[in-house]
Amino acid sequence: MSKQVWLNGELIPTEKATVSVFDHGLLYGDGVFEGIRAYNGQIFKLDSHLKRLYASAAAIRLEIPYEVDKLRQAVRDTLKANDRTDAYIRLCVTRGFGSLGLNPFLCKRATVFIIADDIKMFPSELYELGMEVIIAKTIRNPPASLSPAIKSMNYLNNILAKIEAIDAGVLEAIMLNIDGNVTEGSSENLFIVRNNTHGNPELTTPPVSAGVLEGITLSTVAQLATDAGIPISRNNLKPADLFNANEIFLTGTAAEIIPVTKIDAKPIGSGSPGPITQQLAKAYHHLVTTNPTED
């Protein structure tokens, strides 16, 4: 059976799912998107993803030509049409067909498409052994230039950091902001684990003001940590904080939870995935496979 893509209101075979070369999403990266996961036939945090999609679109004055209930059902229909129970779902909204000029308001109607397919961010063994990363020289876009709350289709800043990682022989890079503070990976949020003043482990992740996307997986992991009695804070981090951490892990819808055990060839903590990382990864896997609610 041919794979199906939902495009502008209808399901069509992948090979026929095309957009115009005059679409501003292609010409200028003018659009927004969400990456969503389905587990065991249930779409995890679908409502949260849709809420962020509409907020991102509103922030760039992009009108989505469908009510949220229509898109919610379209995501479900796309999953079903591809006979998938587990999938990575990409929901994209571009500015649509327009001219070669920048003026977005000459685009009459947004283009909307939904893909349900596989994704493999990192080799499976790295989830067990841990991953080596680098600190990128590419600086994260300042929030004053482009709000990190907007999940836009323009990922060139992130791609440049990813190229640095690949050139260094690793698969991911951690990006700093213009002030030298840690932000996130090229497509994942970051947590560190270190002992607090009482000698107990606590989590820290950079604040939104540092220039990070408020990840849905980040929020889920933060709640799992709170439920487990692990304190969590949002504070600026310097590279030295990374090197002095007991554990580091990255989170994202596509990546889920993956441990970082080496940065710039320097081991983090014991050099192996730590107990808090393993505990939260296990809790996250249990949540998404046994109770993957859409809220």
Catalytic sites, residue numbers? 151
Can you list the alpha helix ranges (DSSP code H) found in 60-180? 68-81, 124-129, 156-167
- DSSP 3-state of 203: strand
Phi, psi for residue 135 in degrees, rounded to 5: -95, 120
246 contacts 195 by C-beta, under 8 angstroms: yes
| Most distant CA atoms of the chain, gap in Å | 61
Per-residue b or e along 219-250, where b marks 16 or more CB atoms closer than 10 Å to that residue's CB: ebbbebbeeeebeeeeebbeeebbeebbbbbb
170 contacts: CB under 8 Å, gap ≥ 6: 131, 132, 133, 134
Per-residue b or e along 173-212, where b marks 16 or more CB atoms closer than 10 Å to that residue's CB: bbbbbeeebbbbbbbbbbbbbbeeeeeebbbbbbbeebbb
Tokens of 234: 């949002």
User: How buried is 139 (Cβ within 10 angstroms: 0-12 exposed, 13-18 middle, 19+ buried)?
Assistant: middle
